[in-house]
Amino acid sequence: MSTDDIPKMSWWNRLAHPGQFMSWTRPLIWPLAAITAVLMGLGLWFAFFNSPADYQMGDTVRIMYVHVPTAWLSQFVYAAMAVSALGTLVWRHPLADVSMKAAAPLGAAFTAMALFTGSMWGRPTWGTFWEWDGRMTSTLILLFIYLGIIALWRAFDDQLRAARVVAVFTLVGAVNVPIIKFSVDWWSTLHQPASVFRADGPTMPASLLTPLFIMFFAFTLLFATLQLVAMHTEIRRRRLVTLERRAARGETA
Amino acid sequence: MTQRQVQHPIHLQTQDLACGRGDVALVQDLHLDVAGGAGLLLRGPNGAGKSTLLLTLAGLLHPLAGTVHISGADPDSGPLVHHCGHKNAVRARLSVLQTLRFWCEINGGGGLAPEAALERVGLLRAAQLDANYLSAGQQRRLVLARLLVSPRPVWLLDEPSAALDAAGQSLLIDLLAEHFATGGLAVIATHDEIILPQLSTFTLGGAP
Amino acid sequence: MTGFLGVLKRELRLALAGGGEIMTLVLFFIIVGAIVPFAVGPDQVLLARIAPGIIWIAAFLAMLLGLDRLFRPDRDDGTLALYRLADMPLAGVVAAKVIAHWLTAALPLILASPFLAMILAMDGPAFLRTLISLLVGTPALAAFGALGAAITVAVRRGGLLAPILIAPLCVPVLIFGVGAISTLGGPGQATSAMLLLAALSLMAVALSPFAAALAIDWTEE
């Protein structure tokens, strides 16, 4: 079950074979990075110079252009991890392991960023850095789950074994995240009747929506780029480990 | 002795089997074929992969490549394999008899009664003793009793004779002979001499 | 079924013969609860208001404490390998262990909770609700705990990792558990919280043995 030299038959397996995967995705990285950079620059330009300040919140509304995309990614990355976990459990595919492992720190980073920008935004609007509002709270718990998964990855020496255990936990988490979200919403309305300001209400003018959408795609592409690079790194790292072990055995045997 | 007397002799076969820990193969391209009524002695230096191979045959480790196939047995009659590893699965605060009864309950009965099995391996007098007070050799005897209370056609024994005294060694040989006589098979990893006409020897990791 | 009962019997026997492990857990539970007044002050009104939360937190921590003995000793002495070759599904073994864990780590706490209720100045009806919510909610904690213990069984020093993994998953249990006690949102709220807690418990107890068995099978192979 090493990551290379497994004979594969179908086109899907050929595409998803780690070596093949490396060679057909390598040319994608630079174009993806370029598009990401362009979109990010464009979005930031819109966000800073070409969108109106909110009549209530003033310039602080511009935090939204980072906050909303990262908050979206915090959940999207978990969904990507859950799909990879399914790949690990059902097909025992080494590439699914790699994708799951690469996504975890990225998801944690985006979630932390969403929390950070959220509390930055909270200070001028709510008057406090942290409000036990339903969305913030469930994002915080999601961050704990991400960090737990990363800790679990690091606790195992044998990464093939780790992958299956992490996959089980990731799927259990995927079942639980909606329950957690529901319970936290229930809890926050119980303790403080809906007085919380909602930023993405339905009445958002187009002047705000355009930069938001651009940033949204920019961040999603940023994730795609980083994920690809991280997967390549992980595949190389695994090859290295395998080679090292072989060398060690070759010398001692 | 067993009602699991099989019409077709039981067969343990491996095809292109590779096994190991992690992704490093210790044993490769292994073709084994052991039929009921006979056994295989696994030999080889430390680290040759004897224990790993036994775990893989038991289905406790996933093979890196190839297959392990057990044929000729009734698939409805429950698990076919007994695996006795280095660890005796003996816990303090449970008596010898309680330990054996527990094994009988989770593995399914059908063989000797626990008391009779204890008598067979010479532990009846210690039945009420805390199992952790047994000596290493006595614990190995208790493990042998586990094979008797739940009859299964395939025995995979890892160093069964370690810590056994001379009487224990001959007890092991007697039990194996009975097992072969009822059509069972065994794969045994050992460094000791176990002399039985049904046993052939296979050496692992002889090369470089 | 004999196998299931056999595992249950063995677990209970080991726990009862275990030289006061249950006593230690109960003591921990009471001390955690009794230490809170030192931190927040002996104000009876305040204590009565936060008492349900304190009891739940104390129970949660005490149950996390007992997790490490769930699978690790079995792995160390080779019983886990035996379970994997037993004439019963591994999920059945885990289910028996969840029940045993609840009987030895949750039930004694519930029996000891009147003492905490008294020193935390709870009134009768509130205590009764606490008792029911503990009875309904702790099976979920036991099930999630077994899952965490199964996931970290192959990790050396997994003792600290399991609580970290499990705590976020237990947030809904705590929310609904305390929600079922407090009268903050009116009696309707408390009832719906109790029903949600029961649903959560049933789901966790029904599903976690399978997930835990999967995790054990795959870490060991």
pLDDT in tens, chain A (253 residues): 444 444 444 555 666 677 788 888 888 899 999 999 999 999 888 888 877 776 666 777 788 888 989 999 999 999 999 999 998 888 888 889 999 999 999 999 999 999 999 888 888 877 888 888 888 899 999 999 999 999 999 998 878 788 989 999 999 999 999 999 899 888 887 765 444 444 444 456 677 778 888 999 999 999 999 999 999 999 998 888 878 877 876 655 4
Nearest by CB to A158, from B22, B64, B208: name it.
B22
CB neighbour burial string for C129-146, b if at least 16 within 10 angstroms, e if fewer: bbbebbebbbbbbbbbbb
Mean pLDDT is lowest, of B11-25, B80-94, B142-156, C96-110, for B11-25
| Residues in a beta bridge with A58 | A54
pLDDT at B103 over 90: yes
C-alpha closest to that of C138 among C200, C190, C183 = C200
Question: In angstroms, rounded to a whole number, what is the distance separating the alpha carbons of residues C100 and C97?
Answer: 5
The rounded distance, in Å, linking the Cα atoms of A230 and A110 is: 15
**Segment B119-178, tens digit of pLDDT:** 999 999 989 999 889 999 999 999 999 999 999 999 999 998 888 899 999 999 999 999
Candidates C206, C6, C205; CA nearest to C86 is C6
C220 contacts chain B (CB < 8 A):
yes
The C-alpha torsion from C209 through C214 and C220 to C221, rounded to 10°, is 150
Q: Chain B residues with CB inside 8 Å of A1's CB?
A: 23, 62, 64
Q: How far is C72 from chain B (nearest CA, A)?
A: 12
Question: Which regions of A75-116 does DSSP assign to beta strands (E)?
Answer: none
Separation CA A209–CA B177 (nearest Å): 82
Question: What's the pLDDT score for residue B1?
Answer: 41
**Closest residue on chain C to A159 (Cα):** C219
CA distance A220 to A209: 16
pLDDT of the residue at B6: 45
Do the chains contact at B88 and C77, CB–CB below 8 Å?
Answer: yes
Please state, for a pLDDT cut of 70, what percent of chain B lies above it. 93
| A157 three-class SS | coil
Instruction: Give the pLDDT confidence of C44-95 residue by residue, as tens digits.
Output: 889 988 898 999 999 999 998 888 889 999 998 889 999 999 999 999 999 9
Alpha-carbon span C87 to B62, nearest angstrom: 20
Q: Is the dihedral of CA B179, B182, B187, B193 positive or negative?
A: positive
Q: Which residue has the higher pLDDT, A36 or C160?
A: A36
Q: Which chains touch A (3 or more CB pairs under 8 A)?
A: B, C
Q: Which other chains touch chain B, taking contact as 3+ CB pairs less than 8 Å apart?
A: A, C
Of all residues in chain A, the one with the smallest CA distance to C169 is A176
User: What are the structure tokens assigned to C87, written together?
Assistant: 């004439």
Mean of the per-residue pLDDT values for chain B?
A: 86
> A160 vs B24: CB contact, 8 Å cut-off?
no
Q: Please count the other Cβ atoms lying within 10 Å of the Cβ belonging to residue A79.
A: 13
pLDDT one-digit tens code per residue, A210-248 = 888 899 999 999 999 999 999 999 999 888 887 887 787
Nearest to C82 among B86, B89, B98 (CB): B89
Of A68, A21, A19, which is closest to residue A204 (Cα–Cα)?
A68
- Under the banding of pLDDT at 50, 70 and 90, the label for residue B2 is very low
- Please write the tens of the pLDDT for every residue from C165-196: 999 999 999 999 988 887 766 778 888 899 99
Inter-residue contact A100 to A168 (CB < 8 Å): no
Contact: C14, B98; criterion CB under 8 Å: no
The domain made up of B1-80+154-159+184-208 has a fold known as: Rossmann fold (3.40.50)
Using the Cα atoms of residue A124, residue A127, residue A130 and residue A132 in order, give the sign of their dihedral. negative
C169 near A CB under 8 A: yes
Question: What band does C10 get if pLDDT is binned at 50, 70 and 90?
Answer: very high
Strand ordering across the sheet containing B154-158: B81-84, B154-158, B185-189, B39-43, B199-203
Average pLDDT value over all residues in chain C: 90
What residue segments make up the domains of chain A, in order of their start? 30-194+205-252
Q: Are B169 and B192 in contact (CB under 8 A)?
A: yes
